[in-house]
Chain A
């Protein structure tokens, strides 16, 4: 691990690793231990982890003749930031879709927090604490930023048809959710936009909103599909700060990213996918000079090459 290469974000410094009730109440000690344990894990594809939150076996998804995903065994360690890299078309988004239930016509089994969630309906996967965002941002454009946030809170009494007619049964809960949403919006620099339509936000702000909104679900694992795509460098640093903060609060983060500086900077573990298969995984240092990874990228793009054999400048 290389904590010194992690981007330094003063604005969020004071939150540091203090437990916060904004996100899920994960066991911090457990999460920290799990992260430390990664150091002893061998950097080999499909290697078992000491404390996995997600375990997937034989996940396979094909579109007609094209096999988009075919991973033999994959584990994601609790309390860590895991980067999922790979050239365009490697199957990263498809893997997200399969694991989160958005694509139910697939093979394989996978457990989340020791429960089998293979081919479970996507909303139930989310309710269990595995929440994903989309590569193509899905802001609910004709709803305000605050409505987007409130919507995402789980276990709302007012979402039942009959209780909906009795505001007394949901007002207090709505107030609590609004407070939490407000706090999250402040954290993500969106508080000033709370009453605007989400469709009026810029692309980068929508990325921020999507991440904040996913947190309203109180996930245990958040899966971000290219959260930094199309975001300016300053905002990227802010986003990265948020991601590390979430990890420090006990959340498990999986994110897809093409920018190697970002990947090397913040991830605890990197999984490299090529043509649907996990060709390499390990801590960032081990990945950056991995022959298979470099070959895979050279085959498709010159990404790693630009950064020299070490991957990081």
Chain B
């Protein structure tokens, strides 16, 4: 077993562009679920709208990447408003039902042949990100030392911008949640009737929270489209929302840094486990493939991650950054 390889791969993934994408999506979700108690089960829809907003603006309309990013964020805000108007006045479950379906509807619509002139159907849109790398000030080379390997100058640039965005969003969430505005959100999470009885316009605050968290989800999408140099509809499946929730609950919902820590740990575990299992299979001391077939490694990895999550929920149900005392007051 090559521990160095496992650790360096785990590190590389934990700080890499995919973890960054998920951290951003989970920061948005934290505003919805962690702070306001809105059960949004379709964060993937906001990510997708952000990504496709950029891709279509650039690919079909020949716009710049900056314009595309703005379009992506604007569409995410619009989606939030469209979801909010019919559902937020109703019981909490309606938002959940609506959001869970809207992601799938968007994915299917995007890959349909009718939408192909705009979205290029199931193949998706490629060739994004050029202007982004043109701004890269980092000299060519391979960066990192020992187990802390970062990769090429392009990857380093991506990560620099990504972590910059994460820092900025965390700062925003921190500033908002310590303000009276954030206090109203938390009150709504605790009991929206009580908030109403004290003169707070609950609908308006839920709307603001949904839009803000949705736009941050859109930002995750814009970032994703650039790091993947393109978009394809089938990447945006419901698993994205599921992973974002895992990350949020792992790190601690309602904590500014919860989603970031959650994404780091989730990706380190997820990819570290992958390398470990592959090494085992190759080295012959873990004959998974012989026993269970070629799918075994992926499946075992998921099971391992599930096991870790279960242990975490048993021993730290409030998440890593959560407050146990607070958690016990849940009722």
Contact = CB atoms under 8 A, between A and B. Distances in A.
Q: Do A and B come from one complex?
A: yes
B181 interface: yes
Interface stretch (A30-38, A55-63, A162-170, A250-258): A162-170
A124 B197 CA distance: 9
B196 A197 contact: no
Nearest to B198: A152
Interface string B273-296: 000000000000000000000000
Given A138-B191, A142-B329, A131 B181 contact: no
Interface stretch (A153-161, A235-243, A261-269, A282-290): A153-161
Which of B176, B183, B195 counts the most chain A CB atoms within 10 A? Answer: B183
A130 to B, nearest CB: 10
A217 B199 contact: yes
Classify chain B: how many residues form its interface, as a range.
20 to 34
Given A123-B202, A142-B326, A161-B208, A151 B197 contact: no
A102 B192 CA distance: 11
A170 B176 CA distance: 12
Given A123-B202, A142-B186, A134 B197 contact: yes
A134 to B, nearest CB: 7
Interface string B188-204: 01110111111111100
Contacts of A67: none
Which of A138, A142, A165, A197 counts the most chain B CB atoms within 10 A? Answer: A142
Contacts of A131: 197-199
A122 B196 contact: yes
A143 B197 contact: no
Interface string A124-149: 10110001111000111111000100
A131 B191 CA distance: 16
A187 B7 CA distance: 59
A195 interface: no
A100 interface: yes
A33 B181 CA distance: 41
A247 to B, nearest CB: 21
Contact of B197 (A122, A141, A147): A122
Which of A143, A170, A213 counts the most chain B CB atoms within 10 A? Answer: A143
Interface residues of A, number: 41
A150 interface: yes
B134 interface: no
A147 B183 contact: yes
Given A126-B197, A161-B208, A197 B181 contact: no
Given A197-B329, A200-B329, A150 B197 contact: no
Which of B179, B183, B199, B331 counts the most chain A CB atoms within 10 A? Answer: B199
A102 B198 contact: no
B251 interface: no
A132 B180 contact: no
B190 A141 contact: yes
A174 interface: yes
Interface in B175-233: 175-176, 179-184, 186-187, 189-191, 193-202, 208, 212
Which of B193, B195, B197, B326 counts the most chain A CB atoms within 10 A? Answer: B197
B81 to A, nearest CB: 15
B194 A134 contact: yes
A139 B326 CA distance: 14
Which of B193, B194, B202 counts the most chain A CB atoms within 10 A? Answer: B194
Interface of B: 172, 175-176, 179-184, 186-187, 189-191, 193-202, 208, 212, 325-326, 329-331
Given A132-B197, A213-B198, A214-B197, 17 more contacts: A121-B201, A122-B197, A123-B198, A139-B194, A141-B329, A142-B186, A142-B329, A151-B180, A151-B198, A154-B199, A158-B181, A159-B200, A164-B175, A165-B176, A174-B180, A197-B329, A217-B198
